[in-house]
Each structure stands twice: as structure tokens, then as C-alpha cells.
Amino acid sequence: MNASSSNDSNSRPSAISVENVDFCYGKSRALKGISLEVTRNEIVAFIGPSGCGKSTLLRCFNRMNDLVPGARVTQGTIHIEGVEIHSPEVDPVELRRRVGMVFQKSNPFPRSIYENVAYGPRLAGTSEKGALDSIVEKALRGAALWDEVKDRLGESAFGLSGGQQQRLCIARTIAVKPEIVLMDEPCSALDPVATAKVEELILELKREFTIVIVTHNMQQATRISDRTAFFYLGELVEFDETGRIFSNPRRQETEDYVTGRFG
């Protein structure tokens, strides 16, 4: 099913282009003929009930699903910044640098705050102390965490609060200068204040990055996303401006889901 989308950002270049994608876990078809376009510097929210395929699609964008045995795209193409991500010349590790990911539960390394952020750039070849310092500061500032941690960069990341740990993970993701940031329910383990800080941060990050966020919190989707895609049973039911999805969706299934009349 191809969902219609009225996108006023058509003139902006495409960051992610999905065409007629089917995805299977073994024999089970988790995504059915998905087509959608995400343009640069927009925030797109994926919503839908558990098992609808939204996280599966998100994980396709940086080939995270390659790590799951028997899981594969069986049809269709996914282009990131114009490059088909399954073509042989694409290195999945490099792809994951360009398409970063923030997970539901913050997962800092058992290292210092500094090392958590410096890890990626160091792996990518930056070893000079001054350069690393500058990258770490910029990433922590970008994740709105610098002022809170600048005096204890050498301390363990585990000493941070849950919300700070999640922002540290965002800092770690943006330290390697990705083009796209994928977020899989990044606030589901956070309290309302920490959630608000992360949401504020996501809106800030939009200036530099393209963001796709999976969320079960529909209020969150209305607060931060430009467009929202509703998935159900592996199909993309509707993809439109977020205001439209939550005020007057075109499809009955979308209306039933967003209004809570979903059995």
C-alpha cells in the first residue's frame, strides 16, 4: 500500500528514499511494499502499534537488521543521500557512521563521559588530543549537555542521570558527524523533564541533521515532528504533515489509531 503524502518540502533534497520495500524475518513478512521519502533536515515520526514494522523500517536505514539471522530486505530499494545501501560498494560500518542511531534505553560505554564521546571519532582516525577535545566539546554542546558535565569529563558515564545518559548517547552519535540520526523511542525510559530536554534537543538537531524517530508517544510526535508516518501490520497506511495526521487524517485506520479507538 502506498500512502499519499502532501509534502511542502518537495523542493528539498531527499535524505532517505524507500521504494516498494518488503522485509522478512525468515518467512514472516514484516514490511509490505513500503515507499516513502524523507527530505533533508526534517523530523519524521513513525507511529503505530507494537509489531507494525516501524522499528524494523528504521533499522533498515543503517542496515542494523543485517545482524539479525534470517532477516532481510526481499524486495525494493533504500537510498540514503542517493546511494542504494545494499549495493556491494557500501560498507555497513561506514553507513552506520553516516546514519547514527539512538536507542530506547541509554547505553553508555563503561568509560568516562569524555571517552564515550571520543570513542567514535578516535575509531574513525582522529587521535590528536586537541582535535578530540574540540570534537567532544562540540558534540556535548550539540547535545545540550556540556554545561552540566564540563567539570567532570573524566568521571564515569554511569554517574549521570538517565536523561543525561541519553543526551550523552546523542552526543556520541553526533560526534561522528552523521547525516541522519535515527531514534528508536529515545524518551520512553525518561521522566517528563528529561523528556522535554531531549525533545528540545531533537528540535535543535534538526538544523544539522535529518531525524527519523520511532515513538509510542503521540503527543511527542505532534510536538516535534514535521511529518508523521502511521504503520499498521507492516504497511504504511498514511504519511503526511503531522498537523494533518493529528487533526484530520485521510484514512479511517489512522483516525482510529490516533484517537485511541484501536482494538
Partner 1 sequence: MPPNHPHIIRDFDESIRKLSESVISMGNQSRLNLQRAVEALIQRDIDRCKAVIADDSEIDEAERSVDAMGMDILLRFHPVARDLRLVISSMKAVASLERISDHAVNIAKRAKKMLSREEIREVRLIEPIYLMADELLRDALASFADRDSTTGRNLAVRDKELDRAHKRVVATLSQLLEEGGANSESYLHLILIVRSLERVGDLAVNVGEDAVFLDAAEDIRYAQRRYARESDDPDTDPAP
* Identity of the residue, 28 or 252, whose beta carbon is nearer to partner 1 in the bound complex: 252
Do 189 and 106 contact (CB within 8 A), yes or no?
Answer: yes
* Identity of the residue, 158 or 262, whose beta carbon is nearer to partner 1 in the bound complex: 262
Min CB(60)–partner 1 separation in Å: 25
Helix (H) or strand (E) holding 15: strand 14-25
Min CB(216)–partner 1 separation in Å: 13
Per-residue burial over 73-109, b = 16 or more CB atoms within 10 Å of its CB, e = otherwise: beebebbbbeeebbeeeeeeeebbbbbbbbbbebebe
Min CB(186)–partner 1 separation in Å: 20
What CA–CA distance (Å, rounded) separates 7 from 14? 12
What CA–CA distance (Å, rounded) separates 206 from 40? 9
Which residues are at the interface with partner 1 (CB under 8 A)? 218-219, 222, 232, 246-249, 252-253, 255-263
* Identity of the residue, 36 or 258, whose beta carbon is nearer to partner 1 in the bound complex: 258
Min CB(194)–partner 1 separation in Å: 20
* Identity of the residue, 22 or 256, whose beta carbon is nearer to partner 1 in the bound complex: 256
Min CB(212)–partner 1 separation in Å: 21
What CA–CA distance (Å, rounded) separates 235 from 237? 6
